[in-house]
Each structure stands twice: as structure tokens, then as C-alpha cells.
């Protein structure tokens, strides 16, 4: 099943890669800086059609659709057709397709594909995490030796000050900080050891479902920013990292704990 999902996701990447920049038909959704293009809609429609051919009994939950379906019952695909839509609109090549498959509320398969770099990240529960066929392992570095990547929760203006106050604290506690605009790819950077710690004060399940399993199968930790389990049913804060850096976060003076 994993191979079939990877094949479908790769084809979606081709849609993104060859998108006509002049014909992206951008519109706004609810919330600050929240956009959707015709390609988000087209990729999600393709994913829904093809993934349900693989697993017809599954529930399909995508960013560009109705979100009230229950994730905790049976199989559920949790999908972000283009994670990093603002990057996509601006032709800033840091966007991806993210597909997670959960069973009874537990992630079983995660696939994240960056078509611009041709990087296919994937994981299956109990079988490890991989990038283009090569095993992934998180960094063992402490926070003070590591890079911190973060998201700004741009749809939630009330979180701006909290986010950047924490960024300043983490900048002092680490080597440096990075902001890319795609939570799914940031989680894959944790899994691959490129960065040691990731946080974002508010995300939706489709932003982190696939990436969460990839991090875990690469030996990493992922939780809410208060250390409790992330939710697949509703949005929450996210903190991910190698085990050492993740633990260091909670020891750091000035760290923030959010649900």
C-alpha cells in the first residue's frame, strides 16, 4: 500500500511542478494570510479519487474540504494537497504534498514530497523512515549545538508576539533559527537531522499528520508544546526534535508551553 500511495503523491508533485504561475487563481479563506489556489483544489481532488481507489473504506480529510469526519474510526487519509501555499503562490520553491494514513486514530503511513527538490520522504509504522530510499535518523545534538526551524502560525494574528518572543529565546539557546513556510517539510528536516528542533504555536492535523510519523520513525520526538500528545482530530501546537534537543526545550529558561 505504501508504494501505491507514493506513486499517487509523486504524480501530484508533477502537477505542482508544472503549474502555470499566471493561472493560479488565488482566493482567500477564513483567517489571516490564508489562501487557496486552483492547484490546491485540483491536487486534492486527484488525491481523493486515487487514494480511495487504493483503500475505498477510508475516510478522506483534506485541507480544502469538509473537516467534520471522524479520524478515530477505521482508516483515514489526512491530506494537505499543497503545504506551503503562500510559497507556491510566490514561486518560492518550498512546498510539498503531504499524505498521512491513520488507523483508529494512530498514524500508520506518512508520505511528504517536495517536487522542487525531488525529495520523497516516507514512513510506515514500525518500519523506519526514508528519503528517496535512504534511511533517516534524527540528530543527536543538544539544542545549543542545533538549528531551530519554526512556523509563524500566520492564520492566527494573536500568536505573533508569542511566536517571535520564543524565537528570540531559542535563537540565544541554539546555533541559529530558520523559517521555511512549510510545516510538513520542517518536520522532514527534523527527521533527516538537518535541524534539531521545530515548533509552531498552532497547526492543523493535515499540516503534521504525515510528518509526525516520519519524525517518530526516524527516532525523534513530537508532541504539543506542553509535552502532551498531538491530536489528529483538531489543531494544536507542535514541538518536534531529536530526543536531546526536545528535552532541552523544556529545561530552557523562557520556554513556552501551549496545548
- 14 assigned to a ligand binding site: no
- What pLDDT digit, counting tens, does each position of 86-115 carry? 999 999 999 999 999 999 999 999 999 999
Does the domain at 143-251 match CATH 3.40.190.80? Answer given as yes
Q: How does strand 119-124 pair with strand 236-241?
A: unpaired
What is the rounded CA–CA span in Å between residue 245 and residue 162? 20
- 80 assigned to a ligand binding site: yes
Minimal CA–CA distance to 249: which of 223, 217, 214, 230? 223
> pTM for this structure?
0.95
Burial level of 27, CB count in 10 A (0-12/13-18/19+)?
exposed
Domain at 2-135, CATH homologous superfamily: Fructose-1,6-Bisphosphatase, subunit A, domain 1 (3.30.540.10)
Residue 30: the pLDDT is 52
Minimal CA–CA distance to 193: which of 134, 138, 131, 248? 138
Q: What is the pLDDT along the chain (259 residues), one digit of tens a residue?
A: 999 999 999 999 999 998 866 565 566 555 444 457 889 999 999 999 999 999 999 999 998 876 557 787 899 999 999 999 999 999 999 999 999 999 999 999 999 999 999 999 999 999 999 999 999 999 999 999 999 999 999 989 999 999 999 999 999 999 999 999 999 999 999 999 999 999 999 999 999 999 999 999 999 999 999 999 999 999 999 999 999 999 999 999 999 999 9
- 83 assigned to a ligand binding site: yes
- 248 assigned to a ligand binding site: no
Q: Please tell me whether residue 85 adopts helix, strand or coil conformation.
A: helix
- 165 assigned to a ligand binding site: no
Domain residue extents for the chain: 2-135, 143-251
Amino acid at each position: 500500500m505504501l508504494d501505491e500511495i507514493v506513486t499517487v503523491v509523486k504524480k501530484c508533485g508533477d502537477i505542482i511542478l508544472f503549474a502555470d504561475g499566471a493561472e493560479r487563481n488565488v482566493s482567500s479563506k477564513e483567517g489571516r494570510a490564508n489562501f487557496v489556489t486552483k492547484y490546491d483544489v485540483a491536487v486534492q481532488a486527484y488525491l481523493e479519487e486515487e487514494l480511495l481507489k487504493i483503500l475505498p473504506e477510508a475516510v478522506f480529510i483534506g485541507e480544502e474540504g469538509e473537516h467534520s469526519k471522524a479520524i478515530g474510526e477505521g482508516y483515514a487519509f489526512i491530506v494537505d494537497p499543497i503545504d506551503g501555499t503562500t510559497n507556491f503562490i510566490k514561486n518560492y520553491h518550498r512546498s510539498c504534498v503531504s499524505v498521512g494514513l491513520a488507523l483508529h486514530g494512530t498514524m500508520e503511513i506518512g508520505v511528504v514530497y517536495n517536487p522542487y527538490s525531488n525529495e520523497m520522504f516516507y514512513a510506515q509504522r514500525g518500519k523506519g523512515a526514508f528519503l528517496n530510499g535512504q534511511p533517516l535518523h534524527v540528530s543527536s545534538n543538544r539544542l545549543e549545538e542545533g538549528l531551530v526551524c519554526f512556523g509563524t502560525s500566520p492564520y492566527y494574528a494573536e500568536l505573533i508576539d508569542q511566536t517571535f518572543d520564543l524565537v528570540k529565546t531559542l535563537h540565544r539557546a541554539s546555533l541559529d533559527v530558520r523559517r521555511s513556510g512549510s510545516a510538513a517539510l520542517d518536520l522532514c528536516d527534523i527527521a533527516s537531522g538537518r535541524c534539531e528542533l521545530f515548533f509552531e504555536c498552532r497547526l492543523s492535523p493535515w499540516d503534521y499528520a504525515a510528518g509526525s510519523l516520519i519524525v517518530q520513525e526516524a527516532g525523534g520526538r513530537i508532541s504539543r508544546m506542553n509535552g502532551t500528545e498531538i491530536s489528529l482530530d483538531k489543531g494544536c501546537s507542535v514541538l518536534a526534535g531529536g530526543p536531546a534537543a526536545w528535552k532541552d526545550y523544556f529545561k530552557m529558561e523562557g520556554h513556552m508551553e501551549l496545548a
